[in-house]
Amino acid sequence: MSIDSGDTAPNFELQNTEGEPVEIYNYLNGSKGLLLFFPLAFSSKCTEELCTVRDNMKLYNSLDAKVIGISVDSFFTLKEFKKAQNLNFTLLSDFNREVSEKYDALYDDFYGMVGVAKRAAFVIGEDKQVEYAEVLDDASQVPDFRSIKEALQQ
């Protein structure tokens, strides 16, 4: 089941890089959210994408948007990735792949690996409605950050 603009964003709870549970509705707490699913920490395109987000955090902060990166990596791996890349936003581990599946952002086969998150972006409004949804089948592409910005500005 795909998640589209206008749908209510599924609530979920995942572990952050400290192993602490983060329940998304409570975390957003009336703010907009940008959920960025990405395949694997330390891979070149994922590093490029998330460092671009890191370098543009002033924009997301000015739009009162909380950025959350989600991958199927363990929270231990994500902790090292966050530290190595000096990422200034929350990373969550979907190690059991439940949230990626809920958001229809899971590859059946990713270079021979089963159950890797697709590169995807979802803007969640203050009312918990999806304002933007983009799921990419080609992991070499990055989300349309111009469209994401426009959705966050609405």
Q: Are 146 and 132 in contact (CB under 8 A)?
A: no
Say which residues have a Cβ less than 8 Å from residue 58's Cβ, sequence separation at least 6. Answer: none
Q: How confident is the model at residue 112 (pLDDT cuts 50, 70, 90)?
A: confident
Residue 108 confidence class, pLDDT cut points 50, 70, 90 = confident
The pLDDT tens digits for 117-152 are 999 999 999 999 999 999 999 999 999 999 999 999
Mean pLDDT of the chain: 96
Q: Which fold has domain 13-153?
A: Glutaredoxin (3.40.30)
**Which residues sit opposite 68 in a β-bridge?**
35, 90
**pLDDT band of 104, cuts 50, 70, 90:** very high
In percent, how much of the chain has pLDDT > 70? 99
Report pLDDT digits (tens) over 1-22.
689 999 999 999 999 999 999 9
- Rounded to an integer, what distance in angstroms lies between the CA atom of residue 46 and that of residue 35? 14
Q: Is the pLDDT of residue 82 over 90?
A: yes
Q: What pLDDT is recorded for position 1?
A: 64
Closest CA to 55 of 28, 88, 7: 88
> Which amino acid does the sequence have at 54?
R
- Between 43 and 2, the more confident residue is 43
Q: What are the structure tokens assigned to 24, written together?
A: 């998304």
Task: Answer whether 130's CB lies under 8 Å from 123's CB.
Answer: yes
Determine which of 2-6, 66-70, 96-100, 145-149 has the lowest per-residue pLDDT on average: 2-6
Sign of the CA dihedral with 58 first, then 24, 68, and 121 last:
negative
| CA diameter of the chain | 40
Cα–Cα distance for residue pair 49/134, rounded to 1 Å = 15
The pTM assigned to this predicted structure is 0.96
User: Active-site residues: which are they?
Assistant: 46
CB-CB contact of 67 with 50 (8 Å):
no
